[in-house]
Chains A and B, each alone.
Chain A
């Protein structure tokens, strides 16, 4: 579904951290949000997901304004993969993934066969089904990150937002994780916003790249437009060289 965001200002106190963030994201597309530490990537995700106290603006998904809706209806439209991989210990992987079904359950939290089915489908996609019965305290942080993705997928929402979801993953799982994400967009038509540190990954997986600096949008467009040496110099204060790799998958950004 189309996600149309227009945030005038957002912050933890009256002093806004974000200003004038406008973007439209069509279904089936991946928006990669990049920018230096503290530029407001996480704040943006928190603002849209309704956990920031002071947000002025709107964010429409399919005609519903997320910032005006209650927790349950918001959670049916939007799932968030947080940066932290904290999972309460003493829960099994399957129990945590089933928590993703929360917005679809009744007040007693009764699970139907369908809920279990959806959770297991999510576990298959993220390759965690093999250790469904294990305690989360026994997992590596990479495994936990995939469990959290599975939980967000079990939420079964048209829009997915992820805050640096690959930070604890090894190279192979980084690529696999983002391939899964890309497929979710292209095959299931999900709308996906993903905050990334790694510019190479942003170039490879973002249909659109939005660069942020000091709580504002510094540049937005295709990877080829945004990820050019002058822009990166401007945003990160770092000289880089940008190559096109001779292989099939585009851009390499090399700090000098």
Chain B
């Protein structure tokens, strides 16, 4: 493996810059220096002096910081799982959205929400679990439908993914219409607007995202070997079906966590792995952590745009990522005609 330290440092710097931007930009702007002061005071448990600092610290600690961290986590989870799906299906067009994982998670989440909406503490546990189940079911379906014998043709994968995704999306819409009342909120949620504010969604997402992404990082080495194809991987001593199941579970858990708490945010899981692959190569031990960092930073910046572009009105962040993502997707398709990655 080529040196990992430099790219990690670069990406971490980008993440820090994005987080400072995410915290600083809004109706009340907060400079990085003020941010550090407020965070330092808060960490030491000291109150702040002066009224204006007080307002800033409330905005920062109860609104901006949790929201920025939520976007960071969701971006990392979606890019990390996108990277894993691309590796697993050996297909550069796979991402949580195309594979159906995200829309499957959406169905699960909406189903759980229509039972437990507005969410209670129990609802907080039920939503991610239901997303996970929906997500797994969708990925399993796509995988089975697309497979021909021992191979997984690209066209089949995309067709099956699109079909299952549309079906799942229609199903969630149907459930939302049926649920009535909270329609608009659920709709905003579906497009990736974080309707829930405060620390609750961050703390809710954290354990699922950490387990999913941690497992992916631990499996990254075996994911590399799977790139050789099932037969060669097996001849190199990898239990292919075991490893594949583990990776699907981990990536789907991460996707479901992101979807359950921040809605369906498309294209992050597609663009980011492509960028990291082009910049630093396809070794998953490099690509996975770097994709997570870049994905987090990207989503934080997209969220800033979503807040700023039509201020004071907020756009759902899913609209921003799709606006950037769809053209990029087409660009990749044009580019990859002559090359296989």
Q: Which residues does A use to contact B, with CB under 8 Å? A: 46, 49-51, 70-72, 74-76, 78-80, 82, 84, 86-92, 95, 99-100, 102-103, 105, 107-109, 111, 133, 135, 137, 155
Chain B 40-90 residues near chain A, CB threshold 8 A: 90
Question: Which residues of B are found within 8 Å of A155, using beta-carbon distances?
Answer: 236
The interface bits of chain B over 214-253 (1 if a CB of A lies within 8 angstroms of the residue's CB, else 0) are 0000100110110111111011111100000000000000
The interface bits of chain B over 156-195 (1 if a CB of A lies within 8 angstroms of the residue's CB, else 0) are 0000000000000000000000000000000000000000
Please name the residue on chain A nearest to B222 by beta carbon.
Answer: A109
How far does the alpha carbon of A84 sit from the alpha carbon of B218 in the complex, in Å?
Answer: 29
Which single member of B1, B236, B282 contacts A89 (CB below 8 Å)? B282
Which single member of A71, A89, A90 contacts B238 (CB below 8 Å)? A71
How far does the alpha carbon of A91 sit from the alpha carbon of B281 in the complex, in Å?
Answer: 6
The total number of A-B Cβ pairs within 8 Å is 83
Which single member of B1, B218, B221, B282 contacts A90 (CB below 8 Å)? B282
A102 contacts B1, CB within 8 Å?
A: no
How far does the alpha carbon of A87 sit from the alpha carbon of B341 in the complex, in Å?
Answer: 12
Knowing A102-B236, A103-B236, the reply to whether A88 touches B90 (Cβ < 8 A) is yes
How far does the alpha carbon of A91 sit from the alpha carbon of B230 in the complex, in Å?
Answer: 17
Knowing A88-B227, A102-B225, A108-B218, the reply to whether A95 touches B236 (Cβ < 8 A) is no
How far does the alpha carbon of A128 sit from the alpha carbon of B229 in the complex, in Å?
Answer: 23
B34 within 8 A of A: no
B interface majority secondary structure:
loop
A75 contacts B221, CB within 8 Å?
A: no
B340 contacts A137, CB within 8 Å?
A: yes
Knowing A51-B231, A108-B218, the reply to whether A71 touches B239 (Cβ < 8 A) is yes
B237 contacts A88, CB within 8 Å?
A: no
The interface bits of chain B over 25-50 (1 if a CB of A lies within 8 angstroms of the residue's CB, else 0) are 00000000000000000000000000
Q: Which residues does B use to contact A, with CB under 8 Å? A: 1-2, 90, 218, 221-222, 224-225, 227-232, 234-239, 277, 281-283, 285, 339-341
Question: Which residues of B are found within 8 Å of A49, using beta-carbon distances?
Answer: 234-235
Please name the residue on chain A nearest to B240 by beta carbon.
Answer: A71
Pairs of residues from A and B, 9 with the lowest C-beta to C-beta distance, nearest first: A90-B282, A109-B221, A75-B237, A103-B237, A88-B227, A72-B237, A102-B236, A80-B235, A89-B341
B231 contacts A46, CB within 8 Å?
A: yes
How far does the alpha carbon of A243 sit from the alpha carbon of B187 in the complex, in Å?
Answer: 82
Knowing A99-B224, A108-B221, the reply to whether A92 touches B229 (Cβ < 8 A) is no
Closest Cβ of chain A: how far from B57's Cβ, in Å? 42
How far does the alpha carbon of A88 sit from the alpha carbon of B281 in the complex, in Å?
Answer: 11
How far does the alpha carbon of A135 sit from the alpha carbon of B235 in the complex, in Å?
Answer: 23
Which single member of A78, A95, A103, A135 contacts B1 (CB below 8 Å)? A95
A99 contacts B231, CB within 8 Å?
A: no
How far does the alpha carbon of A72 sit from the alpha carbon of B222 in the complex, in Å?
Answer: 13
Question: Which residues of B are found within 8 Å of A50, using beta-carbon distances?
Answer: 234-235
Closest Cβ of chain B: how far from A69's Cβ, in Å? 10
A137 contacts B341, CB within 8 Å?
A: yes
Question: Which residues of B are found within 8 Å of A70, using beta-carbon distances?
Answer: 239
Please name the residue on chain B nearest to A106 by beta carbon.
Answer: B221
A102 contacts B237, CB within 8 Å?
A: yes
Question: Which residues of A are found within 8 Å of B225, using beta-carbon distances?
Answer: 99, 102
Closest Cβ of chain B: how far from A15's Cβ, in Å? 15
Which single member of B235, B283, B285, B341 contacts A51 (CB below 8 Å)? B235
Please name the residue on chain B nearest to A104 by beta carbon.
Answer: B237
